[in-house]
Amino acid sequence: MRFSASEGASWLPAPGSIIAGRYRVGRVIGSGGMGAVVDAQHVQLGESVAIKFLHPDLASDADNVQRFVREAQATSRIKSEHVVRMFDVGTTESGLPYIVMELLAGHELGHLLAQGPLPVGLAVDCVLQAAEALAEAHLAGIVHRDIKPSNLWLSHRPDGSPRVKVLDFGISKLIEPSTTNTKLTQTQSVFGSPTYMSPEQIRSAKHVDQRTDVWALGVVLHELLSASLPFEGDNVAGVLAAIAADAPRRLRQARPDAPVELERVILRLLEKDPSKRMLLGELGPALRPFATNTGAISADRLARVARGLVSMLPPAPASSAGPPAASVTQRTDAPTPRNPLWRFSVLGGLAGLLLVVAFVGMAATAKKAGDETSPSASASATSSGITMPPPTISALVEPVPSAAESAAQPAPTATPQPTVSASGTARKPAPAHSRSQVVAPSAVPAHAERPPEISEDRK
């Protein structure tokens, strides 16, 4: 569900109005599946913030309100520089639930992907920083369940080095029994994006653990490095069946200059059997040789943070693995032959999901005209008072250190360096993209070419 600018004027607080005696409302900077986001300013402190409002059509349902508030509760439990900060929650006098959060400058990673594959160092750094956030989340008992490039936000630190923040914990799962709401678990309405789902998540969104986020990181890393996906299909059904039944496409098929060992790391992240999948604690040391100086610091920090995660893992269910995935030591680039009978059974098991997908697709088509009038985040960039250089890849990457430099753990490089390929060959700077955006988390819709998100009402 998406709401246009004209609709927003009728139900959102007017610009200049004061919320909770503290926040002066500004312009609408984006809309999403549950409502809209405006920029605002703290009256006393003068700090710029973002306020996310739940649409009144959804606010009439108590479960929707609880899910909305749970996003803020889950996010606020994660103390990481790579997670969006939550400041406040409340309800307006007219009954609109809202969340006050950090206002971000930058772009989602999907904007850089539009320019082509990322340099190895930058792609690895982004995934390591996202993994840091996920390790903190998992230690807090939270599984994200929707990691994808549009939920990874790239901004800059004061020294100019890239910083990734994980967005949208709205469909996260609290894995401690004492804090899980049974009704919300049973009626979870949105449970992920098909392209990035793990095999176990396809079967049941309710019975996943931290390893489902690890799988999604593997898909994202493959995509950042190759501008392609490890599992593809002609439609959502084909994608889901490929995830469940097929070996992933090798990274070096799409990017021959990629290091062989980096390809092996991705294959370990994409093990279909969760019990054989790489853990976050292993990911730091595995990716460190391919990271920049800044990324090497993230890799070491990730290894320390993730030490306590192994003891939190439940045993994998006997049915968690589909057909055996290709061995990570296998040298051939030939994909594993597909088993027609297995594919038939997978498609049969996904029939219910596909009915929902078809319905979502028809609804999205019907709303297309309305979506085209939705407020763009970039339109509000100039009103925020924050400007950034265009997000070209060459402005973000720094050279990958040698093994000796990695061991020395040097301080982060403050000045951005020219783009380099995995082999060290200089690349021409990518063309400048659109102006930097200043938007709030979840304010930018996913790319249109991606398969639609799936809705679920499971009992």
Give, in order, the Cα–Cα distances in Å from 304 to each of 266, 307, 309: 21, 6, 10
Q: How far apart are CA 388 and CA 85, in angstroms?
A: 21
Q: How far is CA 17 from the centre of its chain?
A: 33
Q: Which of 125, 149, 122 is nearest to 421 (CA)?
A: 122
* Cβ pair 243, 222 in contact under 8 A: no
C-beta separation of 227 from 238 below 8 A: no
Rounded Cα distance, 210 and 215, in Å: 9
CB 19 within 8 A of CB 45: no
Burial zone of 69 (CB within 10 Å; 0-12 exposed, 13-18 middle, 19+ buried): middle
51, 194, 224, 293, 446 from 214: Cα distances, Å:
30, 15, 15, 23, 21
**Residue that has been written with the tokens 């969340």 in this structure:** 99
3-state secondary structure of 439: strand
Residue 291 and residue 400 in contact, taking contact as beta carbons nearer than 8 Å: yes
Sign of CA dihedral 378, 380, 383, 384: negative
11 and 56 Cβ atoms separated by less than 8 Å: yes
SS3 36: strand
Output the six-digit token pair for 177.
């029994």
213 given a catalytic annotation: no
Using an 8 Å Cβ cutoff, are 27 and 383 in contact?
A: yes
- Tokens representing residue 408 in the block: 């020395």
Q: Find out whether 206 is annotated in a ligand binding site.
A: no
Q: How far apart are CA 229 and CA 354, in angstroms?
A: 21
Burial of 216 (0-12, 13-18, 19+ CB in 10 A): buried
List the catalytic residue out of 57, 88, 125, 146.
146
Q: Measured on CA atoms in the order 317, 318, 319, 323, is the torsion positive or negative? A: positive
Tokens 């993994």, residue located: 131
> Which residues participate in the annotated binding site for ATP?
52
Question: Which residues participate in catalysis according to the annotation?
Answer: 146
> Which residues participate in the annotated binding site?
52
